[in-house]
Amino acid sequence: MSTTNVLLGIQGKAINPELVQEVEVKTGGYQAEYGRNTGGVVNVVTRQGGNEFHGSAFGYYDDAGMRASEKLEMTPDFSGEGDVALQNTFPENTRWDAGASLGGYFVKDVLWFFGAYDKVKVDRTTEPLAGVNTGKEIPQGFDTDLYSAKLTGRLGASTTLAATLFADPQTNDGSMADVPLGVDPLSYEGVRELGGQDWALRLTQILGNNGVATAQYYRHEDSYRIPGGVGYRSNNASTRDGAGASLSLFLGRHELKAGGDYQWEETSGTSYISGGQSLGIYPCLDKAGYRCDLSKAPVVDAAGGRMPVFYRHYYWVKNATDLTPLTGGIPFESPSRSWSVFLQDEWKVLPNLVVNAGLRYDDQRVYWRTGNLAMDLKDQWSPRVGVAWDFLPASPRGSPSPTPSGRSPGSR
């Protein structure tokens, strides 16, 4: 299943490390079954129970008193040193996390389980080194619950069904910025909610001695919500549902694999500005390009003395001709549908020589909130050919191939 953030295409899930059995990183040379990316693939294999009980417990703690002394070297802004101005420090910074895991069986040789939980708590203060809040210690908090569970059942001698669940809900409170710019705490304090719950079902069928068939269905969730606060806000929630199947055949030195999948993604939310609009105050300088009548510009007290200024208002409007401010915000929705099919062959010519060949096709359609088609990305053919020669007996094996097909940034 894909856990990539639906809206931004960045890392979309914090996974409980106790759930991880192994991590596989592919930066190139992967087969036709991998797609919808341009940089690489990170595969996480999750742990499962067995016919023996096993578990673990752990704890971690650190605070500002356990770190090395800070040496702050302030350099002039835009200096020849190439440094940027240091804006803040964290004089208080306490982090702890604790958790446990347990795996085993409900029925030996038939039904196994695994579960894990990790609580992560960070309390710190940020101290701006410049501006109206210089020297103040302003609190920030981060509270995360990482939990996961997996059930694996044998439905027959050759059939296995696995169900996996993992989630990463997080709540941040206190200052929403490391360097608050306002004097009033109401201008920078708030609550931010992130994360979501993912789950997957996977059916595996062994076909004699020469084949394996798999089918799966999954759902990924991620969100970014700010229930309150001052300034620009965008509350959104995203889901990705996917279904896929594959068939692998082992014929002599050849491993043939064919399959495909279908994904439907939804992102919805509302963008708004607290108070209905944002007001900016800018210096009205007597320079070319400034459309300011200095004789009429209001004068305010600023750090550099009294100066003429102009005001700029930011607010949402219905369209380019109706400029009435919309205080309720702008709702948005961005559905996307995509599907793919692939065929590949891994030919083991020699014990240390492998030839990979394959072909992949991707199709993606992105829709407006109204349901009308916005983009139709079709004819995304991606041939893959590569040769892997393991000339050192103990070296890891890879298989080079062309870069995989791309995908629109807002949908992965």
Q: Kindly report, residue by residue over 145-156, the tens digit of the pLDDT.
A: 999 999 999 999
Does the pLDDT of residue 349 top 50, yes or no?
Answer: yes
Q: Kindly report, residue by residue over 208-221, the tens digit of the pLDDT.
A: 999 999 999 999 99
Tokens 């607290």 -> residue: 274
Take residue 194 and report the two structure tokens written for it: 């992130």
Distance of CA 55 to the CA centre of its chain: 29
Tell me, what's the pLDDT at 317?
Answer: 81
Tell me, what's the pLDDT at 276?
Answer: 75
Q: Kindly report, residue by residue over 368-399, the tens digit of the pLDDT.
A: 888 889 999 999 999 988 888 888 866 554 44
DSSP string, 358-382: EEEEEEEEEE-TTS-EEEEEEEEEE
The average confidence (pLDDT) of the chain is 84
DSSP string, 154-165: E-SSSEEEEEEE
Does the pLDDT of residue 87 top 90, yes or no?
Answer: no
Tell me, what's the pLDDT at 383?
Answer: 92
Contact in structure between 355 and 349 (CB atoms under 8 Å): yes
Phi and psi of 5, rounded to 5°?
Answer: -55, 130
Mean pLDDT of the 340-351 span: 95
The pLDDT confidence band at residue 407, using thresholds 50, 70 and 90, is: very low
Percent of the chain topping pLDDT 90: 45
Q: Kindly report, residue by residue over 100-156, the tens digit of the pLDDT.
A: 999 999 999 999 999 999 999 999 999 998 888 888 999 999 999 999 999 999 999
Higher per-residue confidence, 412 vs 114: 114
Which amino acid is residue 167, in one-letter code? A
45 beta partners: 22
Alpha-carbon distances, residue 63 vs 45, 71, 146 (angstroms): 33, 17, 21
**Which of the residue ranges 185-194, 284-293, 315-324 has the most confident prediction, judged by mean pLDDT?**
185-194
Does the pLDDT of residue 412 top 60, yes or no?
Answer: no
Percent of the chain topping pLDDT 70: 86
The angle formed by the CA atoms of residues 156, 161 and 164, to the nearest 5 degrees, is: 160
Take residue 36 and report the two structure tokens written for it: 């919808």
Tell me, what's the pLDDT at 337?
Answer: 95
Contact in structure between 286 and 322 (CB atoms under 8 Å): no
Tell me, what's the pLDDT at 410?
Answer: 33
Domain 17-273+328-411: top CATH class: mainly beta
